[in-house]
Amino acid sequence: MNGLIVVLGSPNAEDGALYSIARERCRLAVDEYARRDGWKLLLTGGYGAHFNTTDQPHAAYLKDYLTARGIPPADIVEFAESANTLEDASCSKPIVRKYGVREILVITSDYHQARARYVFEREFAGTGVEIAFSVTQTDEAACELDLEALKRHERQALERLRRLDGKA
């Protein structure tokens, strides 16, 4: 295996339907997978009141979406059942180590890419970390997500991390 494409989770509906943010990330993952020979996918997302309250981990819904679009199930490794960005990285790390890859591509959204980069580069020091992000064109009315609130949250969370790390 040449590397892992780490697809970060995002909120889904109460019935497990993926909101546009997750579908945008998945479409980008399909494109990147097609460009990278010998790479596999690692999907993140478990459970949490703020993003998935179903009886399946969020990553299972990502897998269903991706396999319906031609990704072979054998090219999706075990899930990182995380509840937030910090856990996305920490739960992914033992899986990345297990497969001995030296490069990962983290797929996220434009509004989330700065914090995802910070967290994954910190967690995966010594591993090649690349970030690719989809442009968020979410239908806020349909998915009940407030994009401006998400952007504020990301700025504040990144600022807190930098302060904690003494880099603010």
Mean pLDDT of the 141-153 span: 69
For 149-157, what is the mean pLDDT?
Answer: 84
Q: What is the pTM for the complete model shown? A: 0.91
> Is a pLDDT exceeding 50 seen at residue 31?
yes
Geometric angle at alpha carbon 160, from 106 and 148, rounded to 5°: 70
pLDDT 10s digits, 46-103: 999 888 999 999 999 999 999 999 999 999 999 999 999 999 999 999 999 999 999 9
Tokens of 88: 């996305």
Backbone angles phi, psi at 67, to 5 degrees: -70, -30
Alpha-carbon dihedral 112, 119, 59, 77, rounded to 10 degrees: 130
- pLDDT reported for residue 137: 78
pLDDT of the residue at 139: 58
Residue 147 has pLDDT above 90, yes or no: no
Domain boundaries, the chain: 3-164
Tokens representing residue 123 in the block = 């967690």
Q: How far apart are CA 85 and CA 87, in angstroms?
A: 5
What is the pLDDT, as a whole number, of residue 153?
A: 83
For domain 3-164, the CATH architecture is 3-Layer(aba) Sandwich (3.40)
Please give the pLDDT value at position 134.
93
Q: What is the DSSP string of 13-48?
A: -TTSPBPHHHHHHHHHHHHHHHHSTTEEEEEB---B
3-state secondary structure 47-83: CECCCECCCCCHHHHHHHHHHCCCCCHHHECCCECCC
